[in-house]
Homo-oligomer: A and B are copies of this chain.
Amino acid sequence: MSTVRLTRVVAFSAAHRYHRPEWSAERNREVFGACANEHGHGHRYECAVTVAGTPHPETSMVMDLGAFDRVLQQEISDRLDHRHLNHDVPEFAFGKEVPTVEALAVHIWNRIAPHLPEGVRLEQVRVHEEPHLYAEYDGAE
């Protein structure tokens, strides 16, 4: 009996802006740089979701891939793709959490975790904001 990790990567296109409304324009600019630009900008995010489990003795699969894809579609694509994170995702509304790649990794972990079947463990969520910048979260406190 082997424990294998399986990773599925999905992409989504979203806009965001870094802005704390309780801060002055100067402080927003100083801390967030061009990410503070008023109308926001955008990225092609790639999100890699890793689960772990024992491959089923008949199918040699850790998890049914169709079921995995439906969770990712519902929790990532349907909610984040072609969206403006600050306007369309309540947790990232101005005054709440700033939609950094770190915050997105934790956010997506929390959305995926409740939907995995018994015996399948969520191992890691990795979110690339661009090819040269990414965050990983594995549930650690």
**A interface with B by C-beta (< 8 Å):** 1-11, 13-16, 18, 20, 31-35, 37-44, 50, 55, 58-62, 64-66, 81-84, 86-88, 97-103, 105-106, 130-137, 139-141
Shortest Cβ distance from residue A108 to the other chain B in the assembled complex, whole angstroms: 12
A contact face: mostly helix, strand, loop, or mixed: mixed
Taking CB atoms, residues of chain B closer than 8 Å to A50 are: 136
* Number of copies of this protein chain within its complex: 6
Across the interface, A43 reaches (CB within 8 A) one of B44, B58, B98, B140, namely B44
Q: Which residues of B contact A131 (CB under 8 A)?
A: 9
Q: Is the CB of B135 within 8 A of A102?
A: no
Contact between A140 and B105, CB atoms less than 8 A apart: no
| Set B15, B18, B34, B135: member contacting A4, Cβ < 8 A | B135
